[in-house]
Homo-oligomer: A and B are copies of this chain.
């Protein structure tokens, strides 16, 4: 399957994966949220090859996740900063970090702690229901075909159907 095909799939996860679903894009975004902005900063902090970095930055700009802002005229130089669409990726990044904090840390403990400016405490992110505010777990959620649903594989259709009536 080609990457381009993913963008067209009638699945919000597949379409998001088309944008951020590779190793380097996620690591680049991590750096963006730490306020890394320039090509060489990304390069030295990630160890990614310059070729791939240029390619991924271009892709993230194309998808509207990053914006190229000139910070110097002669020679022309740009910074890459997150757009609102990019800032909206924060819950994804945080939930990835949180899973790593729970399941992948070694004996040294967490590499990074997060403080909430509002309440001044170190926190973990918690995912809750927008309607009742209760924490969400996989087992407490049903899925239903939405208005954008389209024909999928028989196995998949069956699974969604079974799921909806559990």
B116–A140 CB distance below 8 A: yes
| Closest B residue to A147 using CB positions | B109
| Given A137-B90, A147-B108, A156-B45: A124 and B115 interface contact (C-beta under 8 Å) | no
Partner of A118, one of B11, B13, B132, B147: B132
- How many residues on chain A are close to B (CB under 8 Å)? 103
- Contact partners of A1 in chain B: CB under 8 A: 47-48
In the complex, the answer to whether A146 meets B113 with C-beta atoms within 8 Å is: yes
In the complex formed, the residue of B with least CB distance to A99 is B16
Whether the pair A117, B140 counts as a contact (CB closer than 8 A) is yes
A88 touches B102 (CB 8 A): yes
